[in-house]
């Protein structure tokens, strides 16, 4: 009943030090359910929830598209290793996360 988790989560830094995140959203309506029984259609799409966490704190964002930009100043003090989680939000809850761990 929850939305499907995003896939192909990617992260890169731009010349200004910002963290640029992108992913592919998924929906049950993206393929045919021949018998119409296994899963319900997706609940109302409400966007994506992003969490970037380090050893001391975390940054959270909500966006409506499949990309997010985190400013370099916001990343300062998170630590040497970052864990990025992206979840799709729907009327019935959050999906399981797409997870990526990178060096800060």
For residue range 7-46, what is the model confidence (pLDDT) as tens digits? Answer: 999 999 999 999 999 999 988 765 565 655 544 445 578 8
- Burial (Cβ within 10 Å: 0-12, 13-18, ≥19) of residue 37: exposed
Output the six-digit token pair for 30.
């993206």
Q: Coil, strand or helix: which one is 29? A: helix
Query: d(Cα 70, Cα 14) in Å, to the nearest integer?
Result: 11
Q: For 43-70, what is each residue's pLDDT tens digit?
A: 578 899 999 999 989 999 999 999 999 9
Q: Do residues 18 and 69 make contact, with C-beta atoms less than 8 angstroms apart?
A: yes
> Rounded to an integer, what distance in angstroms lies between the CA atom of residue 77 and that of residue 93?
31
Q: What pLDDT, on a 0 to 100 scale, did the predictor assign at position 63?
A: 97
Condensed to tens digits (0 to 9), the pLDDT of residues 74-97 reads 999 899 999 999 999 988 899 999
Give residue 44's pLDDT: 75
* pLDDT score of 66: 96
């Amino acid at each position: 009943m929850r939305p499907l988790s995003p896939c192909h989560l990617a992260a890169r830094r731009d010349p200004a030090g910002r963290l640029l995140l992108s992913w592919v959203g998924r929906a049950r309506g993206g393929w045919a359910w021949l018998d119409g029984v296994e899963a319900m259609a997706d609940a109302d799409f409400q966007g994506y929830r992003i969490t970037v966490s380090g050893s001391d704190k975390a940054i959270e964002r909500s966006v409506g598209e499949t990309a997010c930009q985190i400013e370099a100043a916001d990343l300062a003090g998170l630590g040497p290793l970052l864990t990025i989680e992206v979840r799709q939000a729907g009327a019935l809850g959050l999906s399981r996360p797409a997870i990526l761990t990178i060096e800060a």
